[in-house]
Amino acid sequence: MRLLIVGSLEGHIVTAGKIALDRGAKVANVDDIDAALDALRSGQGSELLMVDVDLDIAQLCASLEAERISIPVVACGIDTSPARAVEAIKAGAKEYIPLPPDAELIAAVLAAVTEESTSLVFQDPVMNAVLKLAEQIAPSEASVLITGESGTGKEIMARYVHSKSRRSKAQFISVNCAAIPENLLESELFGHEKGAFTGAVGRRIGKFEEASGGTLLLDEISEMHPRLQAKLLRAVQEREIDRVGGSQPIKVDIRLLATSNRNLEDEVRQGNFREDLYFRLNVVNIALPALRERPRDIEILADHFIAKYAEANGVPVPPISPEARQILLNHHWRGNVRELENTMHRAVLLAQDGRVTENSIMLTGEMLAPEGSPASQAAPSHGTAAAGSAASPARTGDASELVGRTVADVERDLILDTLEHCLGNRTHAANILGISIRTLRNKLKLYGEKGLPISMPGEAERTTA
């Protein structure tokens, strides 16, 4: 765990740093936002920023987003008023920690950042065979291609391989090739020199250099444009890269992992992926099974996620009724473990009388119907609450109240109710709903234009104070 502390934290910098060090974190400190950005650009990686609330957190978060540096920000300050915490979260911070620092609170934040990055919950024999292969090849330096449907846990598997490798004490760097525009991905991977293109305000170390000595994961590599694949091939073969706008090649020492939810052999045949690059990456293939192919893991994962999100939301762990368990076991799970996790998160929030019942499962917005039934075949797994309820007439219950309402109306109510539950925190609400923060903001903007009341961050605290 790498922690970068930004600012003086009102004189509590030494205490906060010592607590983090005692919890196993590697801690660095810079004085201000400009120094923090310079450190991140130069390849001084970090998995968490702990920032003095008196600094311009909005500027920091905007700069991180503009430069595609994805690191959670936690604000810290002596001021314990809800308004100050809300201000920091509205500026882009994930959490607010009051000072002087509490050891258990900082430990909880560090644990939340690293939670489940390498833990794999399973009991099905199918997954046991996959884990045995991963452990066998992890100590090698071979490139590994991890394949499987969306939501099967490919990045978690990559982190697991790294944790079992000889490079486990070094950095693990991940790049989502599908999330970065093609014209920016080259700079993201290989870095750039100052002035190399419009917006290159300074030298930026790329992910290959940042990961040197450790492991680099190229997530969803099948989405990479063929033009850039040629440059990647040289980096993979020679372990040598060129910064955009640079004149000297740079040697890198990395273990390369890649993931894909597509069949790369088909992509090669169709001319979308270079065959030579495919063979360079596919020294070892770890194929993750779909959740429906490991049915004995459904219940244990459901219980795991119920406990996780009950703790996160400060509520007792609700038991799952036998009827609800049967729905989970019968569902097709097109979204795999990610779909199950989102489903159980919402089920915790919608539990009825302290239990996850058949109705609370149905209300999560997933198309949870027995496999083979018309409902399970008719709609995608990530349907709306209205679609999920209306398509399962055999299990109506409270869901019958949704009949006759439009999908848009039910979606609107689910979004606004979830936002209210999260005290207006957009990030938390988006995570619960299983949508991006951008999608949530666009929806809220639309509702606001129609005159609907929208919960603002911290609104509940102010009205109940």
Q: With 80 as the cut, is the pLDDT of residue 445 above it?
A: yes
Instruction: Please state, in angstroms and rounded to a whole number, the distance separating the CA atoms of residues 136 and 146.
Output: 15
Q: Are residues 331 and 210 in the same domain?
A: no
What is the per-residue pLDDT for 8?
Answer: 80
Q: Specify whether the CB–CB gap between 354 and 374 falls below 8 A.
A: no
| Residue 299 within a domain | yes
pLDDT higher at 314 or 464: 314
User: How much is the mean pLDDT over the chain?
Assistant: 81
Q: What is the number of alpha carbons within 13 Å of residue 255 lying toward its C-beta?
A: 25
Q: Are residues 228 and 298 in the same domain?
A: no
CATH code at position 140:
3.40.50.300
Q: What is the number of alpha carbons within 13 Å of residue 234 lying toward its C-beta?
A: 12
Instruction: Please state, in angstroms and rounded to a whole number, the distance separating the CA atoms of residues 292 and 295.
Output: 6
Number of domains the chain contains? 3
Domain's final residue, options 289, 320, 342: 289
pTM of the model: 0.63
| Residue 424 within a domain | no
Domain residues for 150? Answer: 125-289
Domain's final residue, options 114, 133, 157: 114
Find, among 358, 337, 361, the residue nearest to 348 by Cα.
361
What is the per-residue pLDDT for 311?
Answer: 80
CATH code at position 93:
3.40.50.2300
| Residue 440 within a domain | no
Q: Are residues 208 and 270 in the same domain?
A: yes
Q: Specify whether the CB–CB gap between 232 and 115 falls below 8 A.
A: no
| Residue 453 within a domain | no
Model confidence at 447, pLDDT cuts 50, 70, 90, reads confident
Q: With 90 as the cut, is the pLDDT of residue 145 above it?
A: yes
Question: What number is the average pLDDT over the span 367-386?
Answer: 40
| Residue 439 within a domain | no
Model confidence at 112, pLDDT cuts 50, 70, 90, reads low
Q: Are residues 379 and 270 in the same domain?
A: no
> Which SS3 state, helix, strand or coil, does residue 256 take?
strand
Tens digits of per-residue pLDDT, 324-339?
Answer: 999 999 998 988 998 8
Tens digits of per-residue pLDDT, 20-31?
Answer: 777 667 788 888
Q: Are residues 31 and 147 in the same domain?
A: no
Q: Which of 159-168, 274-283, 324-333, 404-413 has maximum average pLDDT? A: 274-283
What is the per-residue pLDDT for 233?
Answer: 94
What is the per-residue pLDDT for 262?
Answer: 92
